[in-house]
Structure 1
Amino acid sequence: MDRLFRDVFPFTEPPRVKVVNWAKTVLSKIYLTDTTLRDGQQGWKYLSVEEGLEIYELLHEIGGKGSIRSTEVFLYTGRDRALAKAIMEKGYEYPKPVAWIRASLQDLNLVSETGLDEAVVLMSISDYHIVYKFNSTRDVVIGKYISVAEEAFKRGIKVKASLEDVTRADLDNVVIPFLQKLINLSEKYGVQLKVKLPDTLGVGMPFEFVPPPRGIPALVTRIREKTGLPEEDIEFHGHNDLGLAVANHLAAWFYGAASSNVTLLGIGERAGNCPLEVMAIHYAGIKGLSDINLKPLGRVRELFEKMGYRVPDHLPILGKNAFKTKAGIHADGLLKNPEVYLPFDPYYLLGIPVGVEITPHSGRAAVALWLKQVLGEDSISKDSQAIQQIFDEVVQLFEKTGRTQPLTDEEMLEIASKYYPKLREKR
C-alpha cells in the first residue's frame, strides 16, 4: 500500500505543518509584517516613489486579505514622505503603512506630520549599543526611550518598541523591567503597545534548550510569561548572518511571537533578512490559502530584476534554479512523476514552471523532459532512438569544445529539430 502522506503533502498546496501539543502558541493568530521598504531598501538601494509603490502593490496582492498586516516606511526624506503619502492614499487595509523612526522627538514629529497612527521606534537594548554606541548608561538611555514612548502615547500614536540587538541583551535586568514600564504607560494612556524582537546580528538559535539571550523559544517564552503581552503584540525580526533566519522565525511563531517581520527576497543589511516568500509558503502550510495569495510571488523576481536587483540563482522559491534540474536522476524522477522531486506544484501555486538544463550529466531523461515541456507532449520516452541521438550530440559537443555551461534553449532547438521537425517552427 502506498503511503504518500497526502494530509501533509497535497502537492497543489504547500506542505502542511502539523504541530503536536507542545506548541506554545495559537497558530491561528500568526501573520506576516513587511519591512522591504525599510530594511530592504536600507540594505539595497534608495527606491523611487514609483518603485516603492510597485512593491507595495505586490505586497497587497499577496497579503491584502490580512496575512501581511503592515509594511514599514521611512520618513526622513521628501521622497520617503511622498511614498508614505502615496501608500496611505491607496486606502488599503492591508498591509497598513507603519512609520519606522529612531527614539527622538524630532522623528516622532515626522510621524505626526505625515498622519500615520503607528510607529516602530528603534530602542537599542543591549549593552553593546548602550555602552559602545551611545557611550552612556542603561538608566539614561532607557529614560530617553520612556520619554519618547510617553509622548507618542499622549499623541495617540501606537508604539512598536523595537528592541535592537535583543539576542545580546540582559533579559531579566534590562529588557523585562523596561517592557513593564512601557506596558504601564500604554495602559495609562489607553494606546496600544507592541514589541519587536530583532535578532540584529543573526545570532539567535531556534532550539528550546538554548537559554536567552540566543535561544529564541526561551526568549519569547520568558517575555510572554513575565510581561503578560499577548502573542499578537509580539513580533520577531531575524537577520540571516548565521543562516538561521527562517528557522528562528518559525521558532518565534511556534513559541508565541505571532508577527513575523520579513522582506521580499530576504533583502536587507549584510546577509539580509528572513525572506517573505519562504515564510509565505510556511504560513500557507500552517493556516491554508484562505487569506494569502501565493500566485503574485511568481512576479517578484521579474519586478526586482527590472529595478536592478540581482536575484541569486539558488535562492529558495524565487531563484532561477529553485525549480530547475540539471541532474539525470532528478530529471528521470520528474519525467515519471513531478511529485518525486518537487515539494509542491510551483506552476499551479506560483506560476513558475519546472525547468531543465542539459549537460552530459543530465542524461537522456533530461533531454526527454526538455522536449516534453517544449512540445507539450506526454508521450515522449527517454528510451527512444531520437532521444539517444540528441543526447549523443550533446555529449560530443561538450567533449569537442571543452564547454562547461548547460546548453541554452536555442542550442537545444538547433540539435533537437533535426530529429523532431515540429521544433523547427519554434526556432
Structure 2
Amino acid sequence: MKKRTITFLDTTLRDGEQAPGNAMTPEQKLKLALMLEDAGIDTIETGFPASSPADFLATQMISAQLTRASFATFSRAQVKDVKIALEAGGVSDQHLVMLVATGSDLHLKNKRNITREQGLAEIVEAVTYAKEQGLKNIAVGIEDASRSQYDYVEAITKAAMKAGANQIILADTTGYATPTSFGDLIRFVRKVSGPEIKVSTHCHNDLGLGVANVLEGIKAGADEIQATIGGIGERAGNTSLEQMATILAYKGEEYGLDTNIQLDKLYQTYLKLKEIINLEESRMQPLFGKYVFSTAAGIHQQGMLNDPDTYEYVKPKDFGRKRQILVSRHSGRTILRHILKDLGVTNDNEVDYLYKKFIAGQNENLYDDLNSFKQKIQNELHNKLEVIK
C-alpha cells in the first residue's frame, strides 16, 4: 500500500509560548527552530509578528537561517497584520502566512461583536491582499471550528479559496471535539475543498483528546498536523508533536501514513525547551517522562530480563533514551538472583537475606538503578566476608 506523507507544522514557538510561564526570547526561539528543522519538521511557526517586537525579531532571525523547513507567521484576518508579517518574514515560497478566521457564532457574537458577513469580508480582504503581494502559500485557520455550524465552515472555506488561499486549518480551539466529531468535520471540509487544498488539524487537549482527535482527522483526509513539542500550550496544551510522530512511525503500515520526522532528535529538542522555559519534569508523560522507560515491579522485571519486548512496545533507543531497571519495594527476588549471578555468586541462601534487608522492609521506593543497587549488594556481601568469585 502506498503511504500518504503527513506534514508537521510546529507551533511551539507561537501557540506553545502563549501559555503562562512559557515565554522565550528571539534567540531562544531561533535555537529551538534550528533543532526542529534538524528533526525533520516541515514548517515552523515563528510567532505573531504584529503582536510584539519580540515576535517580529524572532521571525526575522528564524526566516533568515532556516535552510530546509518552511516558516509560518500568525496574523489576524486584517491587512495591517499581514503587512507586518511580510515585513518580518518577506515574500517567498518558504513563507506561509496563516490568517485566523472567527469560526463559531459564539465567537462572532461574544468575542468579536461582528456578523458572519463581516467575518467573511475580512477574510477575503486579507487573503486578497496577501495574494496581491505575491505570496503563494496562504492559510486560513478557522478558530473554534469544532463549535462552528457546518454551513459557516463551508462559507469560510469557499470564500478563502476563491480569494486565493491554498490551505484551510480546522482548529479545535477549546478541546471541545471528540474523535468522531472532528473526523466528520475534516471529512466535510475535504469534500468542500477538493483534493488540491491542504487541510490541517490544530487541536487542543482540554479533555485529553488532542492526539486522538488528530489521528481521526488525518485518517479522515487531513494533510498536516499542527502540534507542539511536549504538548505545551494554552490551558491543557496542544496536540503533542512527539506522540503523533511516534504513532505515525509505529502505526504507519496500519494507517498507510508516513512522516519526515526523525524521532531520535525530538527528545533533545524537548530537553532544550524544558531548560529554556523551566518546564516541570513529568514522571509518566508519554515518551518524554522521567520513568516511562523504567520499571520497578518484580513481575515486569522478570519479563524484561528475559525479553524486553514483554513489557516494552515503544523502544527507548528510538528516542535516544535508555531502558532502566529500578529496584524498589515492588521488586522481587528475580532481580536479586540476576545480580548475584552477574557477581558470580551461586549460593541462593543469600537471596532471602538480601530481599529482607533491601527490598521487603522498605516503606519507600528506593529507585536505585541496577548498577548502583548491584554495588550495594556487592558491598553487603563483602561486609559479610562472602567470597565474590
TM-score (norm 1): 0.79
Instruction: State the match for 2:385 in structure 1.
Output: none
Instruction: State the match for 2:128 in structure 1.
Output: 150
Residues 281, 79 of structure 1: alpha-carbon distance in 2 compared, 3 angstrom cutoff? same
Aligned mate of 1:393, from 351, 357, 376:
357
4+ residue runs over 6 A deviation:
287-290, 377-383
| Matched-pair contact (CA < 8 Å) for 1:382–1:388 | no
2: CA distance between counterparts of 1:99 and 1:53?
14
2: CA distance between counterparts of 1:169 and 1:380?
69
| Matched-pair contact (CA < 8 Å) for 1:167–1:203 | yes
Residues 388-412 of structure 1 deviation map (CA, whole Å, 9 limit, x = unaligned): 44332223652xxxx4343445973
2: CA distance between counterparts of 1:384 and 1:126?
70
Residues 365, 218 of structure 1: alpha-carbon distance in 2 compared, 3 angstrom cutoff? same
Q: Give the letter aligned to residue 261 of structure 1.
A: Q
| Matched-pair contact (CA < 8 Å) for 2:296–2:328 | yes
Instruction: State the match for 1:406 in structure 2.
Output: 366
How high is the sequence identity, in percent, across the aligned residues? Answer: 26
Instruction: State the match for 1:354 in structure 2.
Output: 323
For structure 1, which runs of at least 5 residues remain unmatched after alignment? 1-18, 20-25, 187-191, 208-214, 422-427
Instruction: State the match for 2:261 in structure 1.
Output: 292
Residues 415, 393 of structure 1: alpha-carbon distance in 2 compared, 3 angstrom cutoff? farther
2: CA distance between counterparts of 1:392 and 1:368?
14
Instruction: State the match for 1:159 in structure 2.
Output: 138
1:88 aligns with 2:54: no
1: CA distance between counterparts of 2:347 and 2:15?
52
Instruction: State the match for 1:246 in structure 2.
Output: 211
2: CA distance between counterparts of 1:343 and 1:114?
45
Residues 11-39 of structure 1 deviation map (CA, whole Å, 9 limit, x = unaligned): xxxxxxxx9xxxxxx84132211101111
Instruction: State the match for 1:235 in structure 2.
Output: 200
| Matched-pair contact (CA < 8 Å) for 1:27–1:253 | no
Residues 324-372 of structure 1 deviation map (CA, whole Å, 9 limit, x = unaligned): 112211111111100000114312x122111233222121234567x59
Cα shift at 1:90 = 1.7
2: CA distance between counterparts of 1:89 and 1:359?
51
Cα shift at 1:235 = 0.2
Q: Residues 6-405 of structure 1 correspond to what in structure 2 (within 5 A)?
A: 27-43=3-19, 44-63=21-40, 68-74=41-47, 75=49, 76-94=51-69, 96-116=70-90, 117-157=95-135, 158-172=137-151, 174-186=152-164, 192-207=165-180, 215-230=181-196, 233-285=198-250, 286=252, 291-307=260-276, 308-347=278-317, 349-367=318-336, 371=339, 384-395=348-359, 397-398=361-362, 403-405=363-365
Which is bigger in relative contact order (C-alpha 8 A, separation at least 6)? 1
Residues 392, 321 of structure 1: alpha-carbon distance in 2 compared, 3 angstrom cutoff? same
2: CA distance between counterparts of 1:137 and 1:115?
32
SS in structure 2 opposite 1:42? coil
1: CA distance between counterparts of 2:271 and 2:346?
33
Residues 90, 397 of structure 1: alpha-carbon distance in 2 compared, 3 angstrom cutoff? same
| Matched-pair contact (CA < 8 Å) for 2:242–2:266 | yes
Q: Give the letter aligned to residue 111 of structure 1.
A: A
2: CA distance between counterparts of 1:368 and 1:108?
67
2: CA distance between counterparts of 1:316 and 1:255?
25
Cα shift at 1:92 = 1.5
1: CA distance between counterparts of 2:258 and 2:5?
14
Cα shift at 1:319 = 0.6
2: CA distance between counterparts of 1:281 and 1:147?
39
Q: Which has the higher strand share?
A: 2
2: CA distance between counterparts of 1:151 and 1:343?
50
Cα RMSD of the aligned pairs, angstroms, is 2.7
Cα shift at 1:54 = 2.3
2: CA distance between counterparts of 1:406 and 1:248?
39
Residues 291, 177 of structure 1: alpha-carbon distance in 2 compared, 3 angstrom cutoff? closer
TM-score (norm 2): 0.86
1: CA distance between counterparts of 2:79 and 2:167?
19
| Matched-pair contact (CA < 8 Å) for 1:331–1:356 | yes
2: CA distance between counterparts of 1:379 and 1:341?
26
Q: Give the letter aligned to residue 98 of structure 1.
A: A
Residues 103, 324 of structure 1: alpha-carbon distance in 2 compared, 3 angstrom cutoff? same
Residues 144, 391 of structure 1: alpha-carbon distance in 2 compared, 3 angstrom cutoff? same
| Matched-pair contact (CA < 8 Å) for 2:293–2:323 | yes
2: CA distance between counterparts of 1:251 and 1:217?
5
1: CA distance between counterparts of 2:342 and 2:193?
60
| Matched-pair contact (CA < 8 Å) for 2:169–2:201 | yes
Cα shift at 1:222 = 1.2
